[in-house]
Amino acid sequence: MRILSGIQPSGSLHLGNYFGMMKRMIDYQENNELFCFLVNYHALTSVFDAPFLRRQTFEAACDFLALGLDPDKTVFYIQSDVPEVTELTWLLSNVTGMGLLERNHSYKDKVSKGLPASHGLFSYPVLMAADILLYGADKVPVGKDQKQHLEIARDIAIRFNSTYGETFVIPEPDIEDDLATVPGVDGQKMSKSYGNAIEIFSDEKSLKKKIMSIKTDSTPVDQPKPVEGNLLYDIYALFLDTRGQEELKERLLTPGLKYGELKKELFGVVWEYFAPYRQERKRLAADGEFVVKTMQEGARKARQVAAVYLDKARHNVGLDYWHE
């Protein structure tokens, strides 16, 4: 099965990115054909600082590699190293109804949070559809926030195929209910842009500070604590198996538990969980040449597949006038 997903290098990667997408992609690489990429064209809709974008793109590449994405098993690349995707975006644009994009929640949310209402932001889902269709992906692992984008990509593929003849694979979203939306320290969806993210590779002091700031209720220490709607439980549970989750529930229900103590414990768990990757992350960050070469090799492989789908699309819409 061909599995594909991308992430914006628009800030430091966090637990929501990790559990919603990165870890699942890394687990999938053993038995599937995987395409994983950093969508820096998409990041241009919100980042207007070139040095920042360059840095975040490099950092995100280091994060994935350190966490175990294996470039020998996975085609791992930077979106803009395969510029064919922008041409496909144009071909898809002409079968994308305005209504489809006007109904997109993500556009409205982003504008209401202060992003410029640009044409790029409005047509973001068309570029995303091109990302997926250019590689004939069967399945796309994402968090729940991307559900509508995936529906748009499917609609565009169906419309293109019915207008011009069979061209693209219709992709299926792959959303895991338990991990659908990882909450941030304030209880909203964890996001790079909300200041509520627990970053995967932050330093010890910042990580501790972030975890200590997880919002908790004011139940007195000598009372049982709620499990439902308990943010601290929801974040801690990400690191526990079913048995561990049951034990944590028991502890919450037993009077005497201090939230402050539980937060310190959670800090230890998160710090240890990522410890094996931290060393490798440091090594990669110091070997820029290796990382860049790895990404360029990934793009070379990606372009081979992209060329097949793009040529087919160009032919089916009639751009190859020399065949007349």
Residue from 5, 74, 167, 294 binding ligand TRP (CB under 6 A): 5
Binding site for ligand ADP (CB under 6 A): 7-8, 10, 16-17, 20-21, 142-143, 145-146, 179, 181-182, 189-193
Helix, strand, coil percentages in the chain from 3-state DSSP, rounded to 5? 60, 10, 35
Q: Report how far residue 204's alpha carbon sits from residue 201's, in angstroms, rounded to the nearest whole number.
A: 9
Q: Segment contacting ligand TRP (CB under 6 A): 139-147, 210-218, 237-245, 283-291?
A: 139-147
Q: What is the dihedral of CA 233, 236, 238, 241, to 10 degrees?
A: -90
CB 39 within 8 A of CB 131: yes
150, amino acid identity:
L
Active site residue 264: no
For ligand TRP, give the closer residue by CB, 211 or 299. Answer: 299
If binding is defined by CB under 6 A, does position 39 make contact with ligand TRP? yes
Quote the least distance from Cβ 239 to ligand ADP, whole Å: 15
Residue indicated by tokens 């979106």: 79
Residue from 146, 167, 196, 294 binding ligand TRP (CB under 6 A): 146
Quote the least distance from Cβ 90 to ligand ADP, whole Å: 24
Active site residue 110: yes
Quote the least distance from Cβ 323 to ligand ADP, whole Å: 39
CB neighbours of 71 closer than 8 A, spacing ≥ 6?
A: 65, 294, 297, 298
CB neighbours of 38 closer than 8 A, spacing ≥ 6?
A: 6, 7, 8, 9, 57, 60, 61, 77, 78, 79
Active site residue 189: yes
Angle at 61 between CA 152 and CA 53, to 5 degrees: 75
Residue from 63, 84, 131, 199 binding ligand TRP (CB under 6 A): 131
Catalytic residue IDs = 110, 189, 192
Write out the residues near ligand TRP by the rule CB under 6 A.
Answer: 4-8, 39, 42, 128, 131-132, 140, 142, 146, 149
